[in-house]
């Protein structure tokens, strides 16, 4: 899923550290291979970022532009576990798996490192700000025991509130040694600025991000937690839309899914169910009117098969919206409702054509966001949380836990927030979507 457009020569995967790790880890593992015992991860273990290759082309010397540091427990750690006070915060919109990550963080801190001072910061970054008067939530294994079976987050969430100086003041007052920020692009922008300010104040506090973006649009993140659950839930919505469309006269099922700037959920949903005839995503502009526009293609489909299913990502077709470019508290552009717009526009088009249709519009977005994580996402969240604790204890900071080339790695936050990951219209994923839907390459008259 990685978008390889970024110029590799400008990348630097070097992970910042608070200092030298000198304390022996309380986790007992092996340093040998072949003894059938779990091993520590050494600091010289890396993977290649770019695994593309051509015959006759070889890289002899690797640099920080080529290598990503493997995540996992180290033999030597930076923090003394008995002195650690850890904080956990969830920010932004809801996403399947938030509780799973919180549970993994708490259990790893408690059982693996013996850290018993764990504070949950409630309602996002606002929980740090004194003017809101939001108390912290002490966390332990009993409190998080069964939260992974529920959707949402026990800590609550919110957008905005990233007053960096005030947050750092609160972190100092609380005597936090590490903070785990679970959130998307805006959250991790805030985390990076918090880490920068703490560094300016000469504070040795680890800031570790767990990337949460249901749209799967953070750069260098192979898979975001909650994405598989979102696709599974979207498939159910599309199945209902297909049934409604199939059993009506010239039935049209219209489903809107999440995807502000990236159409990954829409693309994967279309491939998962194979009942979708038209997929519209933010990365590819489309015309509605004209011989090669969406309406004409939809009319031909109805004349041939008498039903159709349209799957649209929320960020698609925004040029048709009367938007004032307003922003929400996280700085995201407030989108027009493309689903509602299309429902009305399609109905008006076929009324002018004198053609009877039956349109059913389904928007399952909030049902998807609040769903519990499915087993695959649950496993992934557990491993993300565990690796995040190992990273913090070893003294990493300004770091995200990511999966790249099917390996858990440390990724500098700065590089991940530099640009959004998007569907490549010329890449294999979209090529497969075109093959599955049989829709035209482009709905463009020019």
Whether the pLDDT of residue 238 is over 50: the answer is: yes
Contacts of 431 (CB under 8 A, 6+ apart): none
Question: Which two tokens mark 129?
Answer: 């700000």
Domain co-membership, 103 together with 214? yes
Q: Tell me if 45 is assigned to some domain.
A: yes
Q: Domain residues for 298?
A: 227-319+331-370+425-437
Cα-Cα-Cα-Cα dihedral sign, residues 110, 112, 115, 119: negative
**Positions at the binding site for substrate:** 213-215, 258-260, 314, 366-369
Which pLDDT does position 139 carry in this prediction?
98
Domain co-membership, 238 together with 279? yes
Q: Using one digit for the tens of pLDDT, what is the confidence trace for 133-169?
A: 999 999 999 999 999 999 999 999 998 878 999 999 9
Residue 355, H or E segment = none
CA gap 230, 373 in Å, rounded: 9
Q: Tell me if 11 is assigned to some domain.
A: no
Contacts of 158 (CB under 8 A, 6+ apart): 91, 123, 124, 125, 126, 329
**Positions at the binding site for ATP:** 93, 159-160, 184-187
Q: Tell me if 234 is assigned to some domain.
A: yes
Domain co-membership, 150 together with 272? no
Determine the Cα angle at 274 with ends 231 and 363, to 5°: 45
Domain co-membership, 389 together with 354? no
Whether the pLDDT of residue 52 is over 90: the answer is: no
Q: Tell me if 9 is assigned to some domain.
A: no
CA gap 352, 338 in Å, rounded: 21
**Positions at the binding site for Mg(2+):** 185
Q: How confident is the model at residue 234 (pLDDT cuts 50, 70, 90)?
A: very high
Domain co-membership, 177 together with 128? yes
CATH number, domain with residue 361: 3.40.50.460
Domain co-membership, 177 together with 189? yes
Q: Which residue do the tokens 């005839």 mark?
A: 277
Q: Tell me if 95 is assigned to some domain.
A: yes
Q: Using one digit for the tens of pLDDT, what is the confidence trace for 86-98?
A: 999 999 999 999 9
Domain co-membership, 189 together with 281? no
Q: Tell me if 417 is assigned to some domain.
A: no
Q: How many domains does the chain have?
A: 2
Q: Using one digit for the tens of pLDDT, what is the confidence trace for 404-445?
A: 999 999 999 999 888 788 999 999 999 999 999 999 999 999
Q: 265 with 425: CB under 8 angstroms?
A: no
Whether the pLDDT of residue 313 is over 80: the answer is: yes
> 186: closest CA among 194, 178, 196?
194
CA gap 423, 10 in Å, rounded: 21
Which pLDDT does position 89 carry in this prediction?
98
The 10 Å CB-count burial string (b at 16+, else e) for 276-302 is bbbbbbbbbebbbeeeebbbbbbbebb
Q: Using one digit for the tens of pLDDT, what is the confidence trace for 113-131?
A: 999 999 999 999 999 999 9
Domain co-membership, 212 together with 253? no
Average of per-residue pLDDT across 353-375: 95
Residue 239, H or E segment = helix 227-246
Domain co-membership, 268 together with 250? yes
Q: How confident is the model at residue 23 (pLDDT cuts 50, 70, 90)?
A: very high
Domain co-membership, 197 together with 253? no
Q: Is 419 helix (H, G, I), strand (E, B) or coil?
A: coil
Domain co-membership, 161 together with 32? yes
Share of the chain above pLDDT 70, in %: 93
Q: Which residue do the tokens 């779990």 mark?
A: 38
Q: Tell me if 6 is assigned to some domain.
A: no
Which pLDDT does position 51 carry in this prediction?
81
Q: Using one digit for the tens of pLDDT, what is the confidence trace for 285-306?
A: 999 999 999 999 999 999 999 9
Predicted model pTM: 0.91
CATH number, domain with residue 182: 3.40.50.450
Domain co-membership, 269 together with 383? no
Class of residue 442 by CB neighbours under 10 A (exposed 0-12, middle 13-18, buried 19+): middle
State phi, psi for 353 to the nearest 5 degrees. Answer: -80, -10
Q: Using one digit for the tens of pLDDT, what is the confidence trace for 268-285?
A: 999 999 999 999 999 999
Q: Name, of 38-52, 264-278, 314-328, the range with top average pLDDT.
A: 264-278
Which pLDDT does position 10 carry in this prediction?
63
CA gap 317, 285 in Å, rounded: 7
Contacts of 72 (CB under 8 A, 6+ apart): 40, 41, 387, 390, 408
Whether the pLDDT of residue 171 is over 60: the answer is: yes
Q: Tell me if 346 is assigned to some domain.
A: yes
> 211: closest CA among 380, 4, 348, 372?
380
Whether the pLDDT of residue 179 is over 90: the answer is: yes
Which pLDDT does position 2 carry in this prediction?
38
Q: Active-site residues: which are they? A: 215
Average of per-residue pLDDT across 239-259: 97
């Amino acid at each position: 899923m990685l978008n390889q457009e970024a110029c590799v020569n400008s990348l630097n995967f070097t992970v910042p550290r608070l200092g030298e790790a000198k304390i022996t880890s309380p986790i007992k593992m092996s340093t040998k291979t072949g003894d059938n015992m779990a091993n520590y991860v050494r600091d010289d273990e890396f993977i290649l970022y770019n695994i593309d290759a051509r015959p006759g082309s070889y890289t002899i010397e690797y640099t920080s532009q080529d290598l990503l540091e493997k995540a996992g427990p180290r033999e030597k750690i930076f923090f003394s576990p008995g002195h650690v006070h850890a904080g956990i915060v969830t920010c932004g919109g809801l996403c399947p798996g938030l509780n799973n990550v919180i549970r993994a963080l708490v259990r790893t801190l408690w059982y693996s490192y013996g850290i018993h001072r764990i504070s949950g910061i409630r309602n996002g970054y606002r929980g740090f700000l004194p003017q809101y008067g939001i108390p912290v939530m002490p966390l332990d294994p009993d409190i998080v025991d069964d939260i992974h079976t529920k959707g949402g987050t026990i800590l609550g969430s919110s957008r905005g509130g990233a007053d960096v100086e005030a947050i750092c003041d609160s972190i100092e007052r609380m005597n936090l040694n590490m903070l785990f920020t679970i959130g998307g692009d805006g959250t991790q922008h805030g985390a990076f600025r918090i880490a920068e300010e703490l560094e300016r104040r000469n504070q040795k506090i680890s800031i570790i991000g767990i990337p949460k973006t249901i749209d799967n649009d953070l750069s260098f993140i192979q898979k975001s937690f909650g994405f598989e659950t979102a696709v599974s839930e979207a498939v159910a919505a599309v199945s209902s839309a297909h049934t409604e469309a199939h059993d009506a006269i010239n039935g049209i099922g219209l489903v809107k899914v999440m995807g502000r700037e990236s159409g990954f959920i829409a693309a994967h949903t279309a491939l998962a169910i194979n009942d979708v005839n038209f997929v519209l995503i933010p990365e590819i502009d489309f015309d509605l009117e004209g011989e090669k526009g969406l309406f004409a293609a939809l009319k031909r489909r109805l004349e041939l098969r008498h039903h159709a299913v349209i799957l649209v990502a929320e960020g698609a077709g925004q040029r048709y919206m009367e938007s004032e470019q307003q922003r929400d508290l996280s700085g995201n552009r407030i989108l027009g409702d493309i689903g509602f717009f299309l429902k009305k526009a399609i109905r008006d088009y076929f009324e002018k054509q004198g053609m009877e249709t039956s349109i059913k519009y389904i928007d399952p977005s909030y049902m998807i966001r609040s769903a519990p994580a499915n087993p695959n996402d649950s496993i992934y969240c557990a491993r993300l949380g565990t690796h995040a604790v190992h990273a913090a204890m070893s003294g990493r900071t300004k770091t995200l836990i990511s999966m790249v080339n099917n390996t858990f790695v440390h990724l500098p936050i700065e590089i991940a927030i530099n640009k959004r990951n998007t569907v490549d219209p010329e890449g294999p994923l979209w090529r497969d979507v075109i093959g599955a839907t049989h829709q035209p390459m482009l709905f463009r008259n020019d």
